[in-house]
Structure 1
Amino acid sequence: MSNHTSLQKTLGVSLSISISLLWLLAVVTAGFIAQDKMNTVFDSALEETAQRILPLAATEILSRDSDSDSDSDSNAQRIQALEAHDEHLTYLVRKPSGELLLQSHDVDLNVFSALPRTGFYETATHRFYGANAVRGSIYIEVAEPLAHRHSAVWSVILALLTPLLLLIPLSLLAVWWLIKRSLRKVVELQQRVAARDAGDLSAVKVEQLPAEFAPLLSAVNHLLERLRRALEAERSFTANSAHELRTPLATALAKLQRLQRQSQDASVNLQAQDIETSLRTLSALSEKLLELAKAEGGSVLSASPNDLTPILQMIVKDYEYQAPHRLHLELPNNAVLSLLDPDAFAILVRNLIENALKHGADQHPIHISLSAQGRLRVINDGAVIPAEQLALLRQRFVRANSRSLGSGIGLAIVDAIASGAGLQLNLHSPATGQNAGFEVELNIIVTR
């Protein structure tokens, strides 16, 4: 499981959450501001109502018969409503002693204090405003339920929240779209780098890359160029060294063979044979170095698929002359098409067969098989190779059995070709389904 997080996902989630929280914070702030402004408006309405009713109430009360002997309750009048309605503002007109003179039709006397007061004041359920007239002989108090104010504030908040049900999703979609559009070149850079195989060291090209990532692309291309030059220098040195050795080695072998024919001294001929063996070993090593240089050169893939079955059959037939009746080949009935370069495949098969012949048990058969699915297997008999030693066989100049002849770079060449083509090379000891032996297995089918 990857521990890497997506830049698109991180930005999208972060910005989406931030925008949503900012929207909600704006609504809450607007709600508090609206509440403050609405309280000011409602207080102004309370005051205006009291100021308009008080002169009318004073005129009505003073016009009454002041000589009436009726009690205070009979003097109180309830203003009748013209139509039935919810009364959000109720009022009382009283004397300073609290004697009731006038009241609205839907007033609740229990919410008012025993004695009248002036100015704004508030209880747990109502907001009041009081004023007086006629030198403080008549008082009016207007009451408004706090629930009415709270209901109005919540109505405003809900009115602000309702558009968010549409705006927030649209904002989130816009954020994701903008992020995806802004980072499309970065995603293209990621895809181009991820799609490269190990042998592709050419410069990565992405047009109109964001300025923040341009230095990164430049550094990557600079590093690839330095790596390419270093590898080319190494391969060139290996190839040139091996190539330059071929001519003097061939010349030395020819002169040595002529010396053997001319010399009659048995000891000299014996020493000449040892020298010839060394020269032939050195010549074979130079050939292997040339193959290694080609394998590591990155040219292990062809432009179009090729049928590799005839190539395998031809190479096995060539080695039949060196090891008669030891090579057992199994081929599919149909063609096995692959983008693996035929020359590279031939080098790979030759090294696998030579490795099996040199390091496998003498006179025991070597099984070579290619399935219709492209699975190539080369199995030879022999002692089991320990796991820690098996892991080192891919390295150069490493041999499982130091007593066997060979340069120790055969499997290194095979591994270089497999890596360059993006193939998985598997080594098994003991061989699959056996108690001993050694097996090399890989799938040679390469597709774009």
Structure 2
Amino acid sequence: MSQPRRHGPSIRRQLLQPLLWIWLLGTAAAVGGAYLLARNSANAAFDRSLQDEATALAAKVVWSDRGPLLDLTRQARELVTWDTEDRNSFAMVDADGNVLAGDATVPIPPMRNRKTFEQPVLFDAEYENEPVRGAVFSVASPMLDRSVSIVVVETTRKRNVLVRDIQLGIMLPAFALGTLTFVLLGWGIRRGLQPLREVAADVARRDAADWSPLPLQQVPAEAVPLIERINMLLADVQQSVSLQRRFVADAAHQLRTPVAGIRVLAQELEQELLALPQPAAGDLPWQPLLQQLLRSSERLSRLIGQLLSLARSETALSVNAEQVPMDIVPLVRESAEPMVLQGLREGRSVALDAPDEPVVARAHPLWLGEVLTNLLDNARRYGGQHIVVRVRPLSGGGAEVQVEDDGEGVAPEQLGRMFEPFWRGERADLRNDGGTGLGLAIAREIVERLGGRLDVSSRPSFPGIRFTVRLAA
């Protein structure tokens, strides 16, 4: 099944295709004109030569008592038949068509045309199974009532060669000029469209958060309205995204106070209830509900904190000056230490594998720490008993940080969704792990803002799950 065309024909094609048809039609007309011009020019030259030969031979006719004689010397005969490329021949015939001198096999045209007495008349015929062109010129006796005709014929070989040479002399320069014209047109069109390709390359190189207007200095005048409209759309999108970020940040900031109040009130309520006289059996039916309220408030507080981190990371890392080359090993160690202590309390092991020498990469100390904290928290909540953090320098410069665990992993078809906001896997509603579904989305956002990459691999290529952060130098 054929795929629908994603775009219309190119500008180059739309410009060159009509010119190509014009050139083809012009070439066909030139070929026809060149053939007619060559044929007419060659025929005119050779026909004039035939007529001159017939006139010259007619001047050699001598009238005597015995009749007409053709007074030709040996040199004159050789001049008539000297050409080795064309076959030339002649004959002198009387009014009845009888050959009186010359070649008896020369084709004889009808002699009833009175014009042959005024000037040589041309005709076409065949001579020894080959097409020939001939001229006949008739002369009359000044005293006798008799006339003879001089017939001169020659083959058309040299005519055809001359026609071909003239055609080639016209067509080859025309073809070369047409080809050169199309090459120059293609080059000119490509040069004219180069600013548009540069604009496209500029857009491809841009960061996802770069909404600055596209340059107009080198753009062709015809494309300026399009680029201006794109710049207006970029401005509208930037404003819309800024409003959304501001709304998320403001909403999260406004929610922090009441959520913190709920937590404080729930803790005070728990203390007051514990201070009351307790039943003898020691059964506290209100305690599970209150504990659930505290966990829910903590989760809501964490979600609000993650939303604030996401909103701040989308704007704080847009300035490259905040990103500097640094040794990331101390930063990784600092981020992993709290997780080590928490893992020991939960019966898990968190190991750091880092070289003794510095590993330098371009990073931001605050936000790279946020990335590692989120990745380690994800491993603690959903991974296995063993968590390993590895730091390695890259051969071309930069660094690589891996956070891996030996848990159940994620199905291959779900790996692409792990960085979607609020996605927590299948039946996340049945879990009570305190996760928000924003940690990995925040981590990827920060890493990309730092100019790096965050990849994930799981079973079957890796037993468990592994997150790999690659940072540039």
Fold shared by both chains (TM-score > 0.5): yes
Letter of the structure 2 residue corresponding to residue 31 of structure 1: A
Q: Which runs of 5+ in 1 are unaligned?
A: none
Higher deviation after alignment, 383-392 or 149-158: 383-392
1:294-313 alignment runs, 5 A limit: 294-297=312-315, 299=317, 302-303=320-321, 305-307=324-326, 308-313=328-333
Give the secondary structure class of the aligned counterpart of 2:190: helix
Instruction: Please point out which of 31, 50, 67 is paired with 2:34.
Output: 31
Asked if structure 2 preserves the Cα contact closer than 8 Å seen for 1:8 and 1:180, the reply is: no
Q: What is the match of residue 368 of structure 2? A: 345
- For 1:20 and 1:350, how far apart are their aligned partners in 2? 69
Give the secondary structure class of the aligned counterpart of 1:194: helix
Q: Output one character per residue of 1:331-354: Cα deviation in whole Å (capped at 9) or x when no partner.
A: 234444444443332221111011
1:309-328 alignment runs, 5 A limit: 309-324=329-344, 326-328=349-351
User: In the alignment, does 2:52 pair up with 1:49?
Assistant: yes
Q: Output one character per residue of 1:151-201: Cα deviation in whole Å (capped at 9) or x when no partner.
A: 111121232355468646644553343233222212212211222232222
- For 1:221 and 1:177, how far apart are their aligned partners in 2? 29
TM-score (norm 1): 0.80
Assess, with a 3 A threshold, how the Cα gap between structure 1 residues 222 and 446 changes in structure 2: closer, same or farther.
farther
Assess, with a 3 A threshold, how the Cα gap between structure 1 residues 117 and 141 changes in structure 2: closer, same or farther.
farther
Instruction: Please point out which of 276, 284, 297 is paired with 2:302.
Output: 284
Give the secondary structure class of the aligned counterpart of 2:309: helix
Q: How many residues align?
A: 428
State the percentage of identical aligned residues: 23
Offset, 1:367? 0.7
Assess, with a 3 A threshold, how the Cα gap between structure 1 residues 422 and 92 changes in structure 2: closer, same or farther.
farther
Assess, with a 3 A threshold, how the Cα gap between structure 1 residues 301 and 365 changes in structure 2: closer, same or farther.
farther
Assess, with a 3 A threshold, how the Cα gap between structure 1 residues 121 and 67 changes in structure 2: closer, same or farther.
closer
Give the secondary structure class of the aligned counterpart of 1:213: helix
Letter of the structure 1 residue corresponding to residue 401 of structure 2: L
Asked if structure 2 preserves the Cα contact closer than 8 Å seen for 1:242 and 1:286, the reply is: yes
User: In the alignment, does 2:395 pair up with 1:375?
Assistant: no
Higher deviation after alignment, 246-255 or 409-418: 246-255
Letter of the structure 2 residue corresponding to residue 180 of structure 1: R
- For 1:181 and 1:131, how far apart are their aligned partners in 2? 66
Asked if structure 2 preserves the Cα contact closer than 8 Å seen for 1:330 and 1:370, the reply is: yes
Letter of the structure 2 residue corresponding to residue 94 of structure 1: V
Asked if structure 2 preserves the Cα contact closer than 8 Å seen for 1:12 and 1:175, the reply is: no
TM-score (norm 2): 0.76
- For 1:154 and 1:117, how far apart are their aligned partners in 2? 36
User: In the alignment, does 2:65 pair up with 1:66?
Assistant: yes
Give the secondary structure class of the aligned counterpart of 1:206: coil
- For 2:29 and 2:42, how far apart are their aligned partners in 1? 20
Q: Output one character per residue of 1:55-111: Cα deviation in whole Å (capped at 9) or x when no partner.
A: 624xx422xx3147xxx9xx45445336764286654332112334455xxxx5534
Asked if structure 1 preserves the Cα contact closer than 8 Å seen for 2:354 and 2:391, the reply is: yes
Instruction: Please point out which of 191, 202, 207 is paired with 2:217.
Output: 207
Letter of the structure 2 residue corresponding to residue 376 of structure 1: V
Higher deviation after alignment, 296-305 or 216-225: 296-305
User: In the alignment, does 2:83 pair up with 1:110?
Assistant: no
1:225-244 alignment runs, 5 A limit: 225-244=235-254
Q: Which runs of 5+ in 2 are unaligned?
A: 1-5, 114-120, 279-283
Assess, with a 3 A threshold, how the Cα gap between structure 1 residues 94 and 445 changes in structure 2: closer, same or farther.
same
Give the secondary structure class of the aligned counterpart of 2:220: coil
Letter of the structure 2 residue corresponding to residue 122 of structure 1: D
Asked if structure 1 preserves the Cα contact closer than 8 Å seen for 2:456 and 2:467, the reply is: yes
- For 2:381 and 2:35, how far apart are their aligned partners in 1? 89
CA RMSD of aligned residues (A): 3.8
Give the secondary structure class of the aligned counterpart of 2:211: coil
